[in-house]
Amino acid sequence: MPDLQLIHGNCIDELRKLKSSSVDLIIADPPYNLGKDYGNGSDSMSAATYLAFTRAWLQESVRVLKPTGSIYVFMGFRFIARLYSILEDELGLQFNGWICWFYTQGMGKTRGFSPRHDDLLFFSKSDKFTFNLDDIRVPQKFYRSRNNMRGANPGDVWEFSHVHYCQDSRTTHPTQKPEGLMERMVLASSNPGELVVDPFAGSGTTVRVCQQLDRNCIGIELSDEYLDIIQSRLQQPFAGFDSIDPRMKRIPNDLNDPALRQEYKHNHIKWFLSHHETELQAFEEEFNRKYPARVTL
């Protein structure tokens, strides 16, 4: 069982209490300073105060990261450019990726384009960072005939739906992230038994994902109301993560040989649908539709 710690407090103070070079991965989803109501005023600062706050928690984050460690930071449009500059120019981290989280539902604008993505910056402390590509590949359109049989690199545009109000894992937190997003970062940038820190735990998405993927995790959150939500979320029976990259359901078009088809089907479930049990039935149905069993008389 992984060690999961929930800490009630301000992440700057709480990160200060952690040992230097002790953390493998930080997943940070701070308030974007766009005026969301988290019940604690944390999303409505002046620009200068917000930037000072951002520098302070990032400095502590860099101190606690191991030399092989990585940090992913979510950010909205208003501060993303300045965040990039703080991470690269001021903190001297190594840039690894600017990921676009694309979602199909969201607020509709009547003047201007409706926002359909958030950004995620991925930096590491050195060029010796962990990156488990085989654990996060996505299925190929063509299997044997092209590329790597194990699947393709998912790229830097990630599609995951928001968690819908009718889903069991949906809480009352206003900016709950899909578990599939955190799953990809945790699998790519940490190993089982390592330590992940989420300084802005919110509804506990990162902690829940770490619980299921056997990573130790520290989640820090300012509001005790959200800590209660996390506690009860961690007690819920697990029936699969609440979101999946639609490409994970893709079935290659060239599985013409029956033996290869069976081998592929077995591998697909193991490689792409582990921790996504709710998708298994739909996958079986789609597989049978695409490759109907031939009746021989």
Ligand X SMILES: C[S@@+](CC[C@H](N)C(=O)[O-])C[C@H]1O[C@@H](n2cnc3c(N)ncnc32)[C@H](O)[C@@H]1O
The least distance separating ligand X from the CB of residue 140, rounded to whole angstroms, comes to 30
For residues 46 and 268, give the distance between their C-alpha atoms in angstroms, rounded to a whole number.
49
Going 199 to 202 to 205 to 211, the CA torsion angle's sign is positive
Q: Which of residues 4, 10, 80, 190 is near ligand X by CB under 6 A? A: 10
Residue list 210-249, contact with ligand X (CB under 6 A): 220-223, 226
Q: Which amino acid is at 38?
A: Y
Residue 59 interacts with ligand X (CB under 6 A): yes or no: no
| Residue with Cβ nearer ligand X (30 or 252) | 30
Pick 53 or 264: Cβ nearer ligand X:
53
Min dist CB 199 to ligand X, Å, is: 6
Write the interaction track for ligand X spanning residues 164-203; mark x where CB under 6 A is met and - where it is not.
---------x-xxx---------------------xx-xx
Q: What is d(CA 221, CA 45) in angstroms, rounded to the nearest whole number?
A: 18
In whole angstroms, how close is the CB of 173 to ligand X at the nearest point?
A: 5
Whole-number Å distance between alpha carbons of 131 and 96? 10
Which of 205, 211, 118, 219 has its CA nearest to residue 167? 205
Q: Which is nearer to ligand X, 4 or 220 (CB)?
A: 220
C-alpha pair distances (Å), 142 with each of 105, 126, 211, 291, 295 = 30, 35, 34, 14, 25
Total binding residues toward ligand X, as defined by CB under 6 A: 22
Burial classification of residue 81, based on how many CB atoms lie within 10 Å of its CB (0-12 exposed, 13-18 middle, 19 or more buried):
exposed
Q: Which residues bind ligand X (CB under 6 A)?
A: 10-11, 29-31, 38, 40, 42, 173, 175-177, 199-200, 202-203, 205, 220-223, 226
